[in-house]
Amino acid sequence: MKITELMNKDLIIPMLVAKTKKEALKELVDCVVKKESKVDSTELLRVLLEREELGSTGIGDGIAIPHGKIKRIENLIVSFGRSPDGVDFQSMDGKPTHIIFLLIAPENSAGIHLKALARISRLLKDSAFRRNIMGASTSQEIYDIIAQEDEKY
């Protein structure tokens, strides 16, 4: 499974304007809804916020991987947002989050959802990859960096 098989550059926000976790999630949800007509923005935001109440998806090192399952979609959807200033995601390390991968899975999926989370986590372990993402200026550049890293595994 390649992350680039699950996303396209239209689902990448190179400059999030959000200042809070909820605003960042809303901005990413709005981006997804523009491309994926089957996704209900209210339902998706509710699911993501409920997941965050269980524990932050901010995993540290400036990274968050919010995720959730919703009805009416058949395939995984991956969106990406970058915040140069950082967003308080209540990460485990207490530092601001700059790189956010949003993962949305069909309600009845399990294995593929976990595989995608593991794949994204593996990509993000590489500090050079994270630096390259932060240095990119366009959606296309970010997509190309993700694709390039995706090919290594």
Mean pLDDT by 10 residues, the chain (153 residues): 86 95 96 91 95 92 94 90 94 94 88 84 91 95 93 77
How many other C-beta atoms are found inside a 10 Å radius of the C-beta of residue 133?
22
The distance between the two most distant Cα atoms of the chain, rounded to a whole number of Å, is 37
Catalytic residues, which ones? 67
The values of phi and psi at residue 2, to 5°, are -110, 140
pLDDT at 98: 96
Non-local (6+) Cβ contacts of 116 within 8 A are: 1, 3, 6, 76, 78, 103, 105
d(CA 56, CA 51): 8
pLDDT score at 101: 96
Predicted TM-score (pTM) of this structure: 0.93
Which fold does the domain 3-150 belong to in CATH? Mannitol-specific EII; Chain A (3.40.930)
